[in-house]
């Protein structure tokens, strides 16, 4: 009987976890993204950044997460796992990106919230950059028509906090 109860409990936990991790429906290009796992040295600093960008923080179990439309950012450092030793620049994934309808308005809002925003490359006004506490390089691009989403890009243009 104990084995049956343990098996049912395990099945219910796995089902709940699987439901939580479901990706958003594919966009018009057939691409979707579900989540990022960041092996974070400073969970609180990164959570502050992602919440300032418009995400909603939660803690379902052992993970601190920040939710955006179509993607959940997991911030954690598992026991026994060494923290990240560097950022994304020079790695296979140089940076991740978000699309916004107006970069200059978004940057003004984020600077007012205390984020260290960097200007676009080569003086571009439709682009901005941010580097998280763990060295994750984040790009923000202006996409007024919002017609295309890449596998490493999610839109925060219509996100509303509950």
Per-10-residue mean pLDDT of the chain, 162 residues long, equals 48 46 62 77 90 92 86 83 78 84 93 93 92 89 64 43 42
Residue pair 76/62 in contact (Cβ under 8 Å)? The answer is: yes
Q: Tell me how far apart the alpha carbons of residues 100 and 83 are, in angstroms, rounded to a whole number.
A: 31
How confident is the model at residue 22, as a pLDDT?
54
**DSSP readout, 87-154?**
-STTSSS--EEEEES-HHHHHHHHHHTT---EEPGGG-SSEEEEE-TT--EEEEEE-SS-----TTEE
The strand pair at 64-68 and 56-58 is best described as: antiparallel
The CATH architecture to which 26-79+86-155 belongs is: Roll (3.10)
145: which 2 tokens?
A: 């028509």
How confident is the model at residue 149, as a pLDDT?
45
Q: What is the pTM of this model?
A: 0.68
How confident is the model at residue 159, as a pLDDT?
40
How confident is the model at residue 79, as a pLDDT?
78
């Amino acid at each position: 009987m104990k084995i049956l109860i343990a098996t049912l409990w395990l099945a219910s936990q796995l089902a709940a976890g699987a439901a939580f991790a479901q990706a958003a429906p594919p966009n018009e290009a057939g691409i979707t993204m579900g989540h990022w796992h960041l092996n974070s040295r400073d969970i609180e600093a990164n959570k502050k950044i992602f919440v300032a960008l418009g995400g909603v923080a939660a803690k379902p179990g052992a993970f601190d997460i920040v939710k955006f439309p179509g993607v959940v950012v997991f911030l954690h450092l598992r026991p026994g796992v060494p923290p990240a030793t560097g950022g994304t620049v020079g790695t296979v994934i140089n940076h991740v990106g978000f699309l916004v309808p107006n970069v200059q308005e978004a940057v003004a809002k984020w600077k007012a919230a205390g984020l260290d925003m960097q200007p676009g490359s080569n003086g571009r006004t439709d682009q901005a950059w941010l580097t998280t506490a763990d060295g994750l390089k984040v790009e923000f691009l202006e996409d007024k028509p919002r017609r295309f989403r890449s596998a490493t890009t999610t839109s925060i243009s219509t996100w509303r906090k509950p």
